[in-house]
Amino acid sequence: MGKLAERLQDFGDYIDQNLEDRGRTHLSFIKATWNTKDKKQILTWVTILIAGLIAGVAVDLTLPNILLVTIPKWVLIGAPVMYTGGTLTYLAAYATGQWLTDKTGGQWVPVKMQPWASPRLRLWAVVMFAVLMTVWVFYAAAADNPLWTFNGFLPITFMLTFTSFLLRTEDEKEAESFGIRDDRTREHDEAAKKRAEKIAERKEKAKAKAAKRGSFTDRLLGNKPNKNTSAE
């Protein structure tokens, strides 16, 4: 009982730490697992995910879709599936990035570090992805698809994993701590300002050109006679 209580305490502390730093502790653990080639930990995640998917599909196909079944299924099966699925998805993305870095001799730049990937654009990307995942879930519900393990758990897993895209880089956190915009956001704002200025300039030129040409009726019937011109 002492070891069990200690493990539960450690798990609670781990959850608190991740809530405090928005999941960075767990992401660091995933990276360390890959960098140290901890095959035992990776195999544990894979085993839990496969077992959870099999159990979820079995429940979907054999038990009715009622509240008394759904709640325990989401707690006992959904939580482990989404945890391990999200963990392995991030692990695969990180491993791919490491592989690309090695293949390009360190020239490959992670997506989050790309010049165009400002925090604002990443936020919009996450929102759009969340909308797509929500449509997936509602479409599956409307179609009365029995495999809720795949159509419920997996979209939420992908959506939660993709939210890691929102975490600020070190440069962005430093800029935020000083109350200023980071370099990429400033470049994005400057580019948007230049585009707006060019659009406004084109509009002014179009207005000036239209004023010189006169109205359509004037061009069709000729200019109106001057009021000061005396009648003959």
Report the pLDDT value the prediction gives residue 232, as an integer from 0 to 100.
45
Least confident stretch, 1-10, 51-60, 99-108: 1-10
Number of folded domains in the chain?
1
Q: Among the ranges 148-162, 190-204, 214-228, which has the highest mean pLDDT value?
A: 148-162
Query: Average pLDDT for residues 29-36, to the nearest whole number?
Result: 93
Q: What is the DSSP letter of 224?
A: P
Has residue 154 been placed in a domain?
yes
What pLDDT, in 10s, does the model give residues 72-106? 888 899 899 999 999 999 999 999 988 998 888 88
What pLDDT, in 10s, does the model give residues 121-138? 888 888 999 899 888 888
What pLDDT, in 10s, does the model give residues 196-215? 777 777 777 777 776 666 55
pLDDT at 20 over 60: yes
CA distance 88 to 49: 9
> Smallest Cα–Cα separation from 78: which of 133, 26, 25, 149?
149
pLDDT at 44 over 80: yes
CB 147 within 8 A of CB 57: yes
Has residue 174 been placed in a domain?
no
Has residue 219 been placed in a domain?
no
Has residue 225 been placed in a domain?
no
Helix intervals (H) in the chain: 2-20, 24-35, 39-62, 67-73, 79-103, 119-142, 148, 154-162, 170-177, 183-213, 216-221
Report the pLDDT value the prediction gives residue 154, as an integer from 0 to 100.
85
| C-beta neighbour count of 93 within 10 angstroms | 17
pLDDT at 33 over 90: yes
pLDDT at 182 over 60: no
Quote the Cα angle for 90-95-96, to 5°: 100
Has residue 173 been placed in a domain?
no
Report the pLDDT value the prediction gives residue 221, as an integer from 0 to 100.
58
Has residue 39 been placed in a domain?
yes
What pLDDT, in 10s, does the model give residues 66-76? 888 888 888 89
CA distance 156 to 185: 29
Has residue 4 been placed in a domain?
no
Query: Which range of residues forms the domain containing residue 72?
Result: 10-167
CA distance 59 to 137: 18
> By three-state DSSP, how is residue 105 classified?
coil
> Smallest Cα–Cα separation from 69: which of 56, 82, 54, 80?
56
Q: What is the identity of the amino acid at 178? A: F
CA distance 188 to 47: 44
Has residue 176 been placed in a domain?
no
Instruction: Locate 64 and state its tokens.
Output: 């009715």
Model's pTM, two decimal places? Answer: 0.69
Query: Average pLDDT for residues 137-147, to the nearest whole number?
Result: 72
